[in-house]
Amino acid sequence: MSKMVIILLLSFVSAGVCAQTEWQLKKDEDGIKVFTASTPNSNFKSVKVECTVKATPSQLIAFLLDVEKQHEWIYNNKCSRVVKKLGSNEMISYSEYSIPWPCCNRDYVAHVTISQQTPQLITIDSRAEPDLCPVKQGKVRVKNSASHWDVIALSNELLKIVYTVHCDPAGSVPAWLTNMFVAKGPYQTFQKLRDGVNQPQYQNAHIDFIR
């Protein structure tokens, strides 16, 4: 049951989130901090992750845009794909997440937008758009999820990431049980992100809309 709940609390990277002020630190390890906060009108906790990553802005964005490889680093992501490109910095994506039997896998359709606010700040916003893809038999569609990334350039090759997300995993999983295991999925996801972004294919990346 605990493993099922952890998977339901995936840090849906292609997933704005309501602003929170009363964050509580749940995990602080290996330079990755995971916080939770209560969310208005929801029984499910919001999550915030803070960490630094050794990468250039284009390197990180190239890694995040490599959607079909998200299963290599996002916690229990089974598969992801781009449904439609709306521009060089905007897309609709589809993801499926593995959930242990007897529960059904969750799937998620997201509208993702990447913006460079200043030379030092990139933001990534994503929200659930459950009706943009046909519902698949045997899958539970996530209908309410939103996330926001602040990517802050501390130097030419060092980034600070502040990631916030709120997700209702849908289905019959009780919120109190889900909230007990809220830190593990995001922590492991960002561990793998820090390793993955430094793979050779991303190190010399250049993204046209990133200054």
Select from 3.30.70.2740, 3.40.50.880, 3.90.1530.10, 3.30.530.20 the CATH code of 2-203.
Answer: 3.30.530.20
- What was the pLDDT predicted at 98? 84
For residue 51, is pLDDT > 50? Answer: yes
Q: Can you tell me the mean pLDDT for 21-38?
A: 92
Instruction: Encode pLDDT of 109-161 as tens digits.
Output: 999 999 999 999 999 999 999 999 999 999 999 988 999 999 999 999 999 99
Dist CA 11 CA 178 (whole Å) = 13
- What was the pLDDT predicted at 7? 43
Handedness of CA 92, 48, 54, 196 (dihedral sign): negative
* In contact, 143 and 130? CB cutoff 8 Å: yes
pTM of structure = 0.86
pLDDT greater at residue 102 or residue 194: 194
Q: Three-class SS of residue 55?
A: coil
- Span of 37-46, 84-93, 106-115, 154-163 with lowest mean pLDDT: 37-46
Dist CA 130 CA 170 (whole Å) = 12
What are the domain boundaries of the chain? 2-203
What is the share, in percent, of the chain residues with pLDDT greater than 70?
82
Q: Return the DSSP state at 98.
A: -
Dist CA 73 CA 185 (whole Å) = 11
What is the share, in percent, of the chain residues with pLDDT greater than 90?
65
Cα–Cα separations (whole angstroms), residue 187 to 26, 49, 119, 190, 191: 10, 8, 28, 5, 6
- What was the pLDDT predicted at 172? 57
